[in-house]
Chains A and B, each alone.
Chain A
Amino acid sequence: MASQIHFLDIKGKPLLSRDYKGDIPSNTIEKFPLLLLDLENSMDEGDFKPLINHQGINYVFINHNNLYLCALTRKNENIMAIIVFLSKLIEVLTQYFKSLEEESIRDNFVIIYELLDEMMDYGVPQTTDTKILKEYITQDYYKLIRSTPSHLVQPPNAVTNAVSWRKDGIVYKKNEAFLDVVESINMLINASGQVLNSEILGEVKIKSHLSGMPDLRLGLNDKGIFSSTSDMEEGAAEQPSNAKGIEMEDIKFHQCVRLSKFENERIITFIPPDGEFTLMSYRLSSAQFLMKPLILVNCKTKTHKHSRIEILCSVRAQIKKKSTANNVEVIIPIPDDADTPKFTPEYGTVKWIPEKSCVIWKLKTFPGGKQFHMRAELGLPAVIDNDDILSKKPIKVNFSIPYFTTSGIQVRYLRINEPKLQYQSYPWVRYITQSGDDYTIRTK
């Protein structure tokens, strides 16, 4: 798929490279910095793309922490797979070294070569699961060698097994499974408080501390799952959407879930990997329902040119009285050149972050139904250059609400069955709703 993989610094200088096929001259990557420069120059026109075709060679690259990961290929390859592989590579290396940056690449080149060897062969992706890779590629070689002669470092069966994500013979004293249902809300609200777009990105995360090869079965209260919406038989007949249940769309499962079983019988069954993983993710978009904002921000800014800017902001938690929102942060953008801030919050604390040109209003706990106000005043320089750049940066809100899901999804049961060991096990469930990456309110 990919002929070569390169790690490059932000200027495009190679840090570490691996040639898989030898069908591209090894100095080809030296052209990359120049191509990158060309690309950046044309970026203003929006010409930037994560790939370049130059003299018959395609450079596919993704950016991470001031690094580029670049794959080269000459053929018309599956680019989506290449990009996903590169991001998987980042993921694996991050899990190995905590953070992936120039320094950690230089320090760990030996293990990176080993991983590259194991994750891709002749340009074909092989094993990209960190948990499995960690089984036989470890950072602590010396330890390994002392305790076992190297003959015994074997490829885990899991690499090629049908169950490629779990090794045999895991034992826990206490068998527990923790379920977290996390819903991230993305919402786009216009200046007058109207919701333009909203979506719920939900995830069911599991931390499994279970022995043996347990078979799990998860029951949810979701309509989309239990009422068979598989409309194969119904043909084109429009299915009237049932108003009462929650209809998830676009459900994605971890590879451990038996997809065909889900497709046919709408049952979620799986053998979980050990430790933490995301079992499923789902999306509920506004096409189905437009939610009212959970945290409503109303912000008025008055700019007195050449002297000061006044901000009047109010926040209301439009959630149940019983619930509380935690760690609410309202991030209000201000002009770059504002100074001498004065804040009078009714509740919470306000901070000015000049390097990000914003003020952050933090409210540690925020009971449902309450409303708070804040007034801020910042000075503006008397002289302003004429560039009246329209800064349309939106207000951003971060929050988390425990014990609550916006969609109303609930876990009905989690059955754990280990056919051989037959142990007692304890499932735990937690719910949390939080802001997504993009909970924003536009300013006028």
Chain B
Amino acid sequence: MSLERKIRSFLKGPRKGETFELKAGLVSQYKGERKDAIQRVIQAMTVGKDVSSLFPDVLKNIATYDLEQKKLVYLYLMNYAKTHPELCILAVNTFVQDTEDPNPLIRALAIRTMGCIRVARMVDYMEIPLSRTLKDDNPYVRKTAALCVAKLFDLNPEMCVEFGFLDQLKELVKDSNPMVVANSLNALYEIRDMNTDQSLKVFTVNEQIIKNLLLCLNECTEWGRITILTTLNEYETTNVEEANHIIERVTPQLQHVNPSVVLSSIRAIIHHIDTIPVTAQRTSILKKLSAPLVSLVSSSIPEAQYVGLKNIRIILEKYPQILSKELRVFFIKYSDPLYLKLEKLEIMVRLANDSNSALLLGELKEYAMEFEPSLVAKAIKSIGSVAIKLAGSTVKSINLLINLIDQRGGDLIINESIVVFTNILRRYPGKNDLNSLVIPVISNHIQDMDRNDALSGYIWLLGEYPKYFSNLHDKLQVLIDDFLEYDSVLQLNILTTVVKINLASSKGTQYSGLLQKVLELSTKDCENADVRDKAYIYWRLLSSSSTKSQKDIILTKLPPIKTTIATFNPVVLEALVDELSTLSSVYHKPAFTFIDKSAYSRLPVDKRTKTSSKENIEDLTNLAKQEIINNSKNENLLDFDDDEDGATESLGSGAGSLLDELNDLFTTPAPAIQHSGDQPASSNNDILSLFNAVPQSTPQSVNSVTQGVSEYSIGSKTNSNNNNKVNNDLLDLF
């Protein structure tokens, strides 16, 4: 129906719509209108609209004295440079001129933007401006140029080294301005990360540089300080005097208001502390770290507090004494977000000692009365950890838990407490008083247990301390009756317990019926292979071997557990201490376990226009695809009446002929796309294959297909139009 009209209108290009208006604005003869149009283009870009088709028109506005307009055009360039790599070259002239501008702000802006235009050909024009700005009188320009060296290395490492930019950058590390020093260091780090050439020595820190940096440290901005402190962390020295000097210089930074400066200082100090031979001196340095560590927790940014807590946990493991008096700081505040509360509990448990245990337990009890389930669960676990860590507080902790069960009750508390009880009894095996304190409580709450970990604890206790349980036979009977309904973990536990009880009781007859039952159940009716295997092993063992070996194997005591507080493996710990304040310190995993190696290698730059145009096409095909899907959704509803009769018929046969038409259609504009070279043919194929696929899957969307095509065509049309027009326009410009 309207297909022809649509195709015709597509051939003419859009006469109205936002893009058209913007285009008109951009080429307006009035300054104000042009600026306004640029702003609107950037706004459209911000909300995610693709305004790359306006590239040539925006580019025309680059030569301006209006700083704000210049910034906006540059911003646009950075974002869309990839879509029109060859046109970027037209901007080079302005860039080069701008790097000679008397205003340092513009010089810096130009060199900064040049580096951000990730187009291979841009590199060729960067040599002169970059070497000029690197030697600029104004430190603001120099610091910007320093980072630009890293950007250049990213684009073309060979050239960066060849033209001596890397060496110049190394010289800048000795610059008189601290800001320039910091940025050069950062640039060198970036280059080092990107470098794949083994033979290229990017940067090694030596004594002289360190000396220099230490002098700079006090004059830097907070971010510069972090850079220098990071460098100090990487520097290795065996010289005691030097290490002392470094620590001395870094210590004042602990009082900086920025928590990341504080944490970086702590890291640098810890890194060098081992070089100092005198233990007393080391302790006194460590003592100075405790207040700054605490200050991390009182930061006003909860996210920063979280990072602080995670780091404190690592440091605590390396130096357990460092915060021994600071327990109260970690008390939970009502307004803390949950993740902070849980993390604080982790620290509190680690700080528990005999002198603060009463205070801590009282506090933990409060938390167990809160309403967030995960906090309550963690509080109960923590009470258990304290009981296990400090022998002196065990009875108190147990009474506390019993109190909680009585006062508050509820599934959560009971289950958690029973798990904790089991752990405590495993820590202090065979203690009569503890057993007689704990086991009656567990017996009273058998009905409330519904979690596997609690139940398996209970079942294990049955087997371990049968004489403390009354009505043992009945209890076992209940378990065996439901045997097949339990999880395999519990089945294994029940099996072991029954075997143990049977073997331990002198007159085994009482339980032999149960034993028989459980063995039969697990070998005949149970589906889990592990359970069956275990049952067979027990069965064979009981029927063949001597009583002694039976007892040796089955009644072996488990080794007492030492702690329920998680600790790091020593190797991991060392790695983490060295990576304090980084992401790995929060994940508690060394960097190599989660960082993609390729993150440190250079990125592929679009060397040839081919790849970029291919990407371009791919983007467009995606766009078209999206459009088709959207349209088919919309139009199906709208066209419901129109197509009622002809729809099915036109779709099957219509699609084929339509595609032919479209095919013709595409060949026309293709040659106009000069920059894609031999690409258009294949790109059209891409698109055609897309359309081939679509009509088959959603045959009713003939209309939408054309819609999609015209969408795409608008893009390519403007491209081709642009090329002709633009070339003229831009040539005028220069």
**Interfacial residues, chain A to chain B (CB-CB below 8 A):** 14-17, 19, 21-23, 43-51, 53, 56, 58, 60, 62, 73-81, 83-85, 87, 109-110, 113-114, 117, 121-122, 124-129, 136, 141, 145, 149-155, 159-160, 162, 164, 186, 188, 190, 196-197, 199, 201, 231-232, 234-236, 249-255, 258-260, 262-263, 278, 281, 283, 285-287, 389-394, 437-438, 440, 442
- Which 10 interchain pairs have the tightest Cβ spacing? A74-B599, A259-B252, A56-B596, A160-B139, A76-B591, A50-B303, A263-B252, A80-B260, A81-B260, A125-B223
Which interface residue of A74, A84, A152, A278 has the most chain B CB atoms within 10 A?
A: A84
B499 interfacial contact with A, CB 8 Å? no
Complex CA–CA separation, A56 to B203 (angstroms): 27
**Do residues A48 and B338 form an inter-chain contact, with CB atoms below 8 A?**
yes
Smallest CB gap from A164: residue in B: B221
Complex CA–CA separation, A96 to B104 (angstroms): 24
Complex CA–CA separation, A122 to B145 (angstroms): 11
Q: How far is the CB of A250 from chain B (nearest CB, A)?
A: 4
Given contacts A80-B304, A285-B329, 14 further A-B contacts (CB under 8 A): A23-B599, A44-B373, A46-B372, A48-B337, A51-B583, A56-B599, A75-B595, A122-B187, A124-B183, A149-B65, A252-B257, A255-B221, A283-B295, A440-B334
Complex CA–CA separation, A390 to B226 (angstroms): 46
**Do residues A75 and B193 form an inter-chain contact, with CB atoms below 8 A?**
yes
B363 interfacial contact with A, CB 8 Å? yes
Instruction: Report if A84-B304 is in contact (Cβ < 8 Å); known contacts: A253-B255, A255-B222.
Output: yes
- A45: which B residues are within 8 A, CB to CB? 374
5 A/B residue pairs, CB under 8 Å, sorted by A: A58-B583, A76-B584, A78-B230, A79-B585, A259-B255
| Binary per-residue interface labels of chain B (658-673) against chain A in the complex, 1 for a CB within 8 Å, 0 otherwise | 0000000000000000
Stretch from B86-94, B158-166, B276-284, B685-693 contacting the other chain: B276-284
Complex CA–CA separation, A373 to B696 (angstroms): 81
Complex CA–CA separation, A21 to B179 (angstroms): 20
Contact count A vs B, C-beta below 8 Å: 275
**Do residues A110 and B301 form an inter-chain contact, with CB atoms below 8 A?**
no
**Do residues A74 and B595 form an inter-chain contact, with CB atoms below 8 A?**
yes
Q: How far is the CB of A277 from chain B (nearest CB, A)?
A: 10
Smallest CB gap from B286: residue in A: A236
Q: Which of A43, A153, A235 contacts B338 (CB 8 A)?
A: A43
- A394: which B residues are within 8 A, CB to CB? 334
Query: What DSSP secondary structure best describes chain A's contact surface?
Result: mixed
Complex CA–CA separation, A442 to B362 (angstroms): 13
Smallest CB gap from A260: residue in B: B252
Q: How far is the CB of B330 from chain A (nearest CB, A)?
A: 10
Smallest CB gap from B328: residue in A: A197
B331 interfacial contact with A, CB 8 Å? yes
Q: How far is the CB of A18 from chain B (nearest CB, A)?
A: 9
| Binary per-residue interface labels of chain B (323-341) against chain A in the complex, 1 for a CB within 8 Å, 0 otherwise | 0011011010111011101
B478 interfacial contact with A, CB 8 Å? no
Smallest CB gap from A127: residue in B: B221
Which interface residue of B280, B329, B342, B375 has the most chain A CB atoms within 10 A?
A: B329
**Do residues A285 and B253 form an inter-chain contact, with CB atoms below 8 A?**
no
Stretch from B42-50, B510-518, B647-655 contacting the other chain: B42-50
- A51: which B residues are within 8 A, CB to CB? 583, 586
**Do residues B595 and A145 form an inter-chain contact, with CB atoms below 8 A?**
no
B130 interfacial contact with A, CB 8 Å? no
In chain B, residues 175-189, which have Cβ atoms closer than 8 Å to a Cβ of chain A? Answer: 177-180, 183, 186-187
Instruction: Report if A62-B105 is in contact (Cβ < 8 Å); known contacts: A76-B583, A81-B581, A250-B295.
Output: no
**Do residues A153 and B284 form an inter-chain contact, with CB atoms below 8 A?**
no
**Do residues A128 and B223 form an inter-chain contact, with CB atoms below 8 A?**
yes
**Do residues B115 and A122 form an inter-chain contact, with CB atoms below 8 A?**
yes
**Do residues A150 and B65 form an inter-chain contact, with CB atoms below 8 A?**
yes
Q: How far is the CB of A416 from chain B (nearest CB, A)?
A: 22
Complex CA–CA separation, A132 to B250 (angstroms): 26
Smallest CB gap from B222: residue in A: A255
**Do residues B599 and A113 form an inter-chain contact, with CB atoms below 8 A?**
no
Complex CA–CA separation, A48 to B586 (angstroms): 13
Q: Which of B151, B180, B252 contacts A122 (CB 8 A)?
A: B151
Which interface residue of B219, B307, B331 has the most chain A CB atoms within 10 A?
A: B307
Which bracket fits the contact residues of B?
A: 35 or more
| Binary per-residue interface labels of chain B (567-599) against chain A in the complex, 1 for a CB within 8 Å, 0 otherwise | 000000000000101111111000100111001
| Binary per-residue interface labels of chain B (196-233) against chain A in the complex, 1 for a CB within 8 Å, 0 otherwise | 00000000000000000000001101110011001000
**Do residues A235 and B280 form an inter-chain contact, with CB atoms below 8 A?**
yes
**Do residues B284 and A442 form an inter-chain contact, with CB atoms below 8 A?**
no
**Do residues A252 and B295 form an inter-chain contact, with CB atoms below 8 A?**
yes
Q: Which of B43, B104, B256, B281 contacts A259 (CB 8 A)?
A: B256
Complex CA–CA separation, A303 to B136 (angstroms): 76
Complex CA–CA separation, A388 to B673 (angstroms): 72
Q: Which of A15, A236, A442 contacts B280 (CB 8 A)?
A: A236
B67 interfacial contact with A, CB 8 Å? yes
Instruction: Report if A151-B102 is in contact (Cβ < 8 Å); known contacts: A56-B595, A235-B284.
Output: yes
Complex CA–CA separation, A176 to B383 (angstroms): 56
Smallest CB gap from A145: residue in B: B66
Q: How far is the CB of A211 from chain B (nearest CB, A)?
A: 24
Stretch from B68-76, B464-472, B720-728 contacting the other chain: B68-76
Complex CA–CA separation, A214 to B264 (angstroms): 31
**Do residues B258 and A84 form an inter-chain contact, with CB atoms below 8 A?**
yes
Q: How far is the CB of A305 from chain B (nearest CB, A)?
A: 18
Instruction: Report if A14-B48 is in contact (Cβ < 8 Å); known contacts: A56-B599, A87-B304, A283-B295.
Output: yes
Q: How far is the CB of A166 from chain B (nearest CB, A)?
A: 13
Smallest CB gap from A290: residue in B: B328
**Do residues B255 and A251 form an inter-chain contact, with CB atoms below 8 A?**
yes
B369 interfacial contact with A, CB 8 Å? yes
Smallest CB gap from A231: residue in B: B284
B371 interfacial contact with A, CB 8 Å? yes
**Do residues A80 and B587 form an inter-chain contact, with CB atoms below 8 A?**
no
Smallest CB gap from B78: residue in A: A19
Q: How far is the CB of B255 from chain A (nearest CB, A)?
A: 6
B389 interfacial contact with A, CB 8 Å? no
**Do residues A49 and B42 form an inter-chain contact, with CB atoms below 8 A?**
no
Complex CA–CA separation, A249 to B470 (angstroms): 58
B541 interfacial contact with A, CB 8 Å? no
Q: Which of B39, B186, B253, B284 contacts A110 (CB 8 A)?
A: B39
- B374: which A residues are within 8 A, CB to CB? 44-46
- B335: which A residues are within 8 A, CB to CB? 437-438
**Do residues B259 and A80 form an inter-chain contact, with CB atoms below 8 A?**
yes
| Binary per-residue interface labels of chain B (240-281) against chain A in the complex, 1 for a CB within 8 Å, 0 otherwise | 000000001101110111111001100000000000001111
**Do residues A442 and B366 form an inter-chain contact, with CB atoms below 8 A?**
yes
Smallest CB gap from B331: residue in A: A197
Q: Which of B39, B326, B329, B586 contacts A79 (CB 8 A)?
A: B586
Instruction: Report if A250-B292 is in contact (Cβ < 8 Å); known contacts: A76-B583, A150-B65, A160-B143.
Output: yes
Q: How far is the CB of B114 from chain A (nearest CB, A)?
A: 12
**Do residues B369 and A262 form an inter-chain contact, with CB atoms below 8 A?**
no
Smallest CB gap from A229: residue in B: B288
Smallest CB gap from B75: residue in A: A113
**Do residues A160 and B115 form an inter-chain contact, with CB atoms below 8 A?**
no
- B260: which A residues are within 8 A, CB to CB? 78, 80-81, 83-84
**Do residues B600 and A75 form an inter-chain contact, with CB atoms below 8 A?**
yes
| Binary per-residue interface labels of chain B (14-48) against chain A in the complex, 1 for a CB within 8 Å, 0 otherwise | 00000000000000000000000001001100101
Instruction: Report if A46-B338 is in contact (Cβ < 8 Å); known contacts: A78-B582, A110-B39, A151-B102.
Output: yes
Q: Which of A125, A150, A236 contacts B67 (CB 8 A)?
A: A150
Complex CA–CA separation, A83 to B586 (angstroms): 12
**Do residues A155 and B105 form an inter-chain contact, with CB atoms below 8 A?**
yes
Instruction: Report if A253-B256 is in contact (Cβ < 8 Å); known contacts: A78-B582, A438-B334.
Output: yes
Instruction: Report if A390-B583 is in contact (Cβ < 8 Å); known contacts: A117-B112, A151-B65.
Output: no
Q: How far is the CB of A37 from chain B (nearest CB, A)?
A: 17
- B95: which A residues are within 8 A, CB to CB? none
Q: Which of B139, B258, B298, B603 contacts A283 (CB 8 A)?
A: B298
Instruction: Report if A160-B257 is in contact (Cβ < 8 Å); known contacts: A48-B337, A113-B75.
Output: no
Q: How far is the CB of B26 from chain A (nearest CB, A)?
A: 16
B170 interfacial contact with A, CB 8 Å? no
